[in-house]
Structure 1
């Protein structure tokens, strides 16, 4: 049997010494200080501790956020009988009245948005749209490769017209908007993604609030809160249909299931159809709407919202509707959806 024997050379300073070799390996005879070794070990140990602490903090924040979300009123995984739309787009429902110039600008803009599947125009004038207007809007839409554009004609001026059921809709999502309101495409598509997480509720850009005003003889009276009260208090319970997403099924519910007394009220007052829709959705879901933070651009007159005494009329509408419902279905919330990828601060 053969054996391999390692031969070590003697050190320059004298005979070979195992003790000297062992000490050299520990650093006594090497060029590195044992103090440096100890500091390196302490540093590595501290880094591991900081990494474990950081990971523990991330896990804690994740668990906390998962509990806060439902508590704050918006649960993206809220069980729904309405499935999230699979066709990946939305129909822009534009309400217009004798403002063809604004309508052309509005159609041109929304046809350019990536998520727009089709455009429907609620026309409530005695005279139908001219052939010139039709051809112009069709050309604008085709230029943006959006050929699905149609007029829904009504022969009377009635604000209930904007919520009539629409045949041949290809999408579950409706984006209801006034012809003088422009929402940037990127903001609009973000709001659509928010709506897809909660397709039962309304998701919009114009928040409003109902405030308890007084109670007399057991009857509660409410005050309609505009933008400044929402901004000041950070609470809202409605998003107006002048710029909001909702499921197409609410068109059917509004027209055929909502009390006719409310239809008559809206028709006679020529006002408050947006409050009626908010009450309808809240009554159906028992949940608050979702306000999406985003810029809106008003490209024309604001219509009846600028009339004198509008605040008093809105207060009356709100209380009369609640009386007709027999209850207050609106649910307040302070949740706001923000596209964090385009915000400087959270």
Structure 2
């Protein structure tokens, strides 16, 4: 009996081992046959996760690049929107990525037989109808598989009470695809979640979704967060039908989510420049595993400064100091006076002077300029442009940037106070000269008799270095071209950009007199033109049209009255 019992135990043990081996072999076989895994960055944060792709669009690519170098092929002349997107990507390619024959991938805008290769990406555009809503769907295809989808929204959908949006939302509710209560719309069926979210955000109804669906959210700019526009609930809360009717959001929070949703849609699904940037960021992450901020090389104006610039590029980042950036054009005496103001200011890391005058025949010798504790770096840009004011130069080593006109009369106390205020408000513009924008019709730019403000002139203003990147690479390209044509409105554009990203009001820290001077300058400021304010009002109205609304947030509070 003892032998039989032992034999039985051994049989069960052998059977167990055989089953384990079989299970391991089955697992190996499964993963071998389903080995398309892709190291995919979730769009709402920087955490990378692995996703199995047996029934998923994310596909593993064996192509890996040390640097993201790509070749752009096939001009899509038959599709205007795709052509515009192509031009935006081409513009970014020329500015961000060095030309090299040894490219990592090819990005094709026309279907051809080469897209099956592992180093080819194909961009396709189709008009689709989501019930009553018309959308343009952009597909990024690799290895004959959709690896990412993006939607572009018709600008007309940003107008209030659009009939297509109203009809679509009513259909969704009547067919129990969503459940509506007050300002909330709970998604009951996650099929077509991407298009559902666009529809609900356009209708200004806050989508409520299950947290497990969050991996299917569409690609957006890394500075935007889906969680600020949606209500994302865990399984327990989402399954509790009563919790939907008692969700604890104040009316203020509801309004903030709705406003944020409009900004998220406009920036990521309407304006082509940031959409193109999002696509390249996604591809760079996919093929290199990382994304680096792209710097602009600062070319030295004086030949003797070449070594000075090279040394500065290699220096580490600096905390608790700020960089002054000044753009100048034919105002030598005024600039020299401005440089003298910073002689004893130890908070200044460096002064970057952007020499916008292409005529160098009147350029003084280097020793002519006033000396200061912080070194001055004279930069020669590629062209005379107001957009040079916001270039992310590779010699900038501080997070804090003081954008300054060369005619501002300052003091050390004024700058120190300004800097301290900015330290606690790093994602907005902190400055001195304030204005108010509107929606029209008629005048949309106000300069006097203001009880509130929303815009800070960049003649004297602090902002975060990150906005230099976003302005240079993400802000609408065509409007920046218009800035060069008008020689105006670059500061309004920066304010709109900051408002989109921060979703906060700017700060005017004082009410005081005009700090500008330089009465004997040979070249006067741009604001002296007779049509200056008319041009700026028109810029506000055009930017409102580009964004679909005015993103500026009014403020009626001033931190302190500064007395010279």
In the superposition, the TM-score normalised over structure 2's length comes to: 0.41
Rounded to whole Å, the distance in 2 between the matches of 1:87 and 1:179 is 25
Q: For residues 9-28 of structure 1, what are the structure 2 equivalents within 5 Å?
A: none
| TM superposition shift of 1:151 | 1.3
| Superimposed CA distance per residue, residues 53-101 of structure 1 (whole angstroms, 9 cap, x where no aligned partner) | xxxxxxxxxxxxxxxxxxxxxxxxxxxxxxxx97211111111101110
The aligned counterpart of 1:320 is: 542
Q: Does structure 1 residue 161 correspond to structure 2 residue 388?
A: yes
Change (3 A) 1:244 1:133: farther
The aligned counterpart of 2:196 is: none
Q: Point out the structure with max Rg over C-alpha.
A: 1
- Secondary structure at the aligned position of 1:89 is classed as strand
Q: Which moved more, 1:287-296 or 1:235-244?
A: 287-296
Q: Does structure 1 residue 291 correspond to structure 2 residue 518?
A: no
- Secondary structure at the aligned position of 2:351 is classed as strand
| TM superposition shift of 1:310 | 1.5
C-alpha contact 1:175 1:243 (8 A) present in aligned 2 = yes
| Superimposed CA distance per residue, residues 137-174 of structure 1 (whole angstroms, 9 cap, x where no aligned partner) | 2xx32xx332x210121242211111111112221111
The aligned counterpart of 1:229 is: 449
Aligned to 1:111, which of 334, 338, 343?
Answer: 343
C-alpha contact 1:207 1:237 (8 A) present in aligned 2 = yes
Q: For residues 329-344 of structure 1, what are the structure 2 equivalents within 5 Å?
A: 329-338=551-560
The aligned counterpart of 1:238 is: 455
Aligned to 1:191, which of 406, 418, 422?
Answer: 418
| TM superposition shift of 1:296 | 4.7
The aligned counterpart of 1:99 is: 331
Q: Does structure 1 residue 308 correspond to structure 2 residue 535?
A: no
- Secondary structure at the aligned position of 2:349 is classed as strand
C-alpha contact 2:432 2:456 (8 A) present in aligned 1 = yes
- Secondary structure at the aligned position of 2:475 is classed as coil
Change (3 A) 1:133 1:229: farther
| TM superposition shift of 1:134 | 2.0
| TM superposition shift of 1:295 | 5.0
C-alpha contact 1:292 1:336 (8 A) present in aligned 2 = yes
Q: Does structure 1 residue 181 correspond to structure 2 residue 402?
A: no
Change (3 A) 1:239 1:97: same
Higher relative contact order by CA 8 Å / sep ≥ 6: 1 or 2? 1
| Superimposed CA distance per residue, residues 207-265 of structure 1 (whole angstroms, 9 cap, x where no aligned partner) | 00013434xxxxxx661011x132xxx20001011110001111111111111012111
Change (3 A) 1:314 1:212: same
Mark the runs of 5 or more structure 2 residues left unpaired by the alignment. 1-316
| Superimposed CA distance per residue, residues 302-332 of structure 1 (whole angstroms, 9 cap, x where no aligned partner) | 5111111212111101111111122211000
Aligned to 1:276, which of 486, 490, 493?
Answer: 493
In the superposition, the TM-score normalised over structure 1's length comes to: 0.66
Change (3 A) 1:308 1:285: same
| Superimposed CA distance per residue, residues 17-36 of structure 1 (whole angstroms, 9 cap, x where no aligned partner) | xxxxxxxxxxxxxxxxxxxx
Change (3 A) 1:115 1:235: same
Aligned to 2:471, which of 254, 261, 264?
Answer: 254
Rounded to whole Å, the distance in 2 between the matches of 1:129 and 1:194 is 41
- Secondary structure at the aligned position of 1:188 is classed as helix
Mark the runs of 5 or more structure 1 residues left unpaired by the alignment. 1-84, 215-220
C-alpha contact 1:184 1:296 (8 A) present in aligned 2 = no
The aligned counterpart of 1:11 is: none
Rounded to whole Å, the distance in 2 between the matches of 1:112 and 1:180 is 19
| TM superposition shift of 1:136 | 2.2
Rounded to whole Å, the distance in 2 between the matches of 1:261 and 1:131 is 32
Change (3 A) 1:112 1:94: farther
Rounded to whole Å, the distance in 1 between the matches of 2:422 and 2:559 is 10
| TM superposition shift of 1:297 | 2.6
Alpha carbon RMSD of aligned pairs, Å?
Answer: 2.3
The aligned counterpart of 2:321 is: 89
The aligned counterpart of 1:5 is: none
Rounded to whole Å, the distance in 2 between the matches of 1:121 and 1:258 is 23
Rounded to whole Å, the distance in 1 between the matches of 2:539 and 2:431 is 21
